[in-house]
Amino acid sequence: MEILLQQTVNAFALGGTYALLALGLAIVFSIMGLINFAHGELMTIGGYVLMYCGLAGLPFALTVGLAILSTTLAAMLMERIAFRPVRNASGATMLITSFAVSMILQVLFQNFISVRSQPVLLPQLLSDSVRVGGFIIGVNKLLAIAATVVMLVFLDWFMKHQKTGIAMRAAAEDFAVARLMGIRANSVIAGAFALSGLLAGVAAVLWVSQRASVDPLMGFTPVLKAFIAAILGGLGSLRGAVAGGFALGFIEIYLAAFLPAAWQEFRDPIGLGIVVGVLLLRPNGLIPAASLKAQKV
């Protein structure tokens, strides 16, 4: 029983990180129809900012702020430089563009920073753990859960009560009509990228605080997980992305925790098998986007 609860805490922490990642992809997809595979490189940028600020000896709180700011700006730059010119092109063009951005950034990191992993100095507190009742919970797990809750509450408020947020929801439902109502396409799309950059920044801090290093290719795994989570939840749906992220986190942790030892080697295929199974039952994902319903199924 105690193990089950302990593993559930682990699942919440991992699922929360996946949820933030999937949200970052979903926000951009809901408005532009673009799956931004360079989302992972935003995290890498955040990681390098953490590394350089750590080397410069800045206080950790300031470092985190700068890392999140840098990913937000980088996301907006990415939109301005790479995605605006192909905004009206086909989905495939945009997808390939995002792959290109991702690869170009990786090679730039390799050539101008280092091909090798660079250590990120983290406060000792993040490696510690606290005892709550009979459990031992890592501080970085608690932070991951707290950060997820804060970000979800913030996003909910932003989307419901902020003008830009409401405009983004309108654009996600029907971009053409939203524009006819006087919503500026440029600002909505830039806003979506900024938000996705913000989420990438928070996710980057959580991700890097676990691995304590940053390397040029580190963005690949998180973006892959985010993609799976976003599809599982329902591509383009923000609530779906959160549900998909948590579902993926729970699947991964529970399989790693409770699968018999002989089966552990096949953990990943089994996990993906479950995802496929869910999609067979719910082809549009757990919580499909409203706009998708008219087009498919």
Partner 1 sequence: MKRLLSTTALIAMATATTASAETLRIGLATAQTGGLAPYDAPVIEGVHIAVDEINATGGIGGTTPIELVERDVRSDPAQTSIAAQELVDDGVSVLVLPCDADPALAAIGIVAAAQVPAISTCASSPTLPLIGGDYMFANFPGDNVQATVSAEWAWGEGMKTGYILYSPDTQYTTMPLYFAEVFEKLGGQMLGEDTYSIGQQDFSAITTRIAALSPQPDVVMTSAYEPDFPSFLKALRAAGVTSQVIGSDGIDSPTTFSLGDAAEGVVFSTAGHATPGSPLEAFNAKYEEVMGHPTETVFNAVGYDLIKVIEAAALAAGSTEPQALRDAIADLENVQGATSMITYKGTDGMPVRQVSLIRVKGGERELVGQPSPTADLVPAARMQ
Q: Which spans of this chain sit near partner 1 (rule: CB under 8 A)?
A: 3, 6-7, 10, 13-14, 107, 110, 115-122, 124, 127-129, 136, 138-141, 207, 210-213, 215, 217-218, 220-222, 252-254, 256-257, 261, 264-265, 267-268
Least distance (Å) from partner 1 to the CB of residue 115? 4
**Contact between 141 and 10 (Cβ < 8 Å):** yes
HEC readout, 80-104: HHHHHHHCCCCHHHHHHHHHHHHHH
Closest distance of CB 260 from partner 1, Å: 12
Beta partners for 131?
Answer: 136
Smallest distance from partner 1 to CB 46, Å: 15
Q: What's the rounded Cα separation, in Å, for the pair 13 and 147?
A: 10
CB-based contact 197:76 (threshold 8 Å): yes
Nearer to partner 1, 129 or 187 (CB): 129
For residue 213, the 8-state DSSP code is E
Element of type H or E holding 17 = helix 2-32
Question: Nearer Cβ to partner 1, position 216 or 236?
Answer: 216
Closest separation in Å from C-beta 94 to partner 1: 25
Q: Give the nearer residue to partner 1 in terms of CB position, either 96 or 137.
A: 137
Nearest approach, Cβ of 203 to partner 1 (angstroms)? 11
Q: How many CB atoms lie within 10 A of CB 82?
A: 17
| CB nearer to partner 1: pick between 192 and 253 | 253
User: Distance (Å, rounded) from C-alpha 287 to C-alpha 296?
Assistant: 14
Distance in Å, CB of 195 to partner 1, minimum: 24
* Rounded least distance, CB 158 to partner 1, Å: 28
Q: Among residues 106, 74, 51, 61, which one has the least CA distance to residue 196?
A: 74
Burial of 152 (0-12, 13-18, 19+ CB in 10 A): middle
Q: Which is nearer to partner 1, 212 or 276 (CB)?
A: 212
Q: Which is nearer to partner 1, 272 or 276 (CB)?
A: 272
- The secondary structure of residue 28, as a DSSP letter, is H
Residue 157 or 263 with smaller CB distance to partner 1: 263
Of 21 and 238, nearer to partner 1 (C-beta) is 21
Nearest alpha carbon to residue 246 among 5, 1, 21: 21
How many angstroms separate the CA atoms of 258 and 162, rounded? Answer: 43
Cβ 110 to partner 1 shortest distance, Å: 6
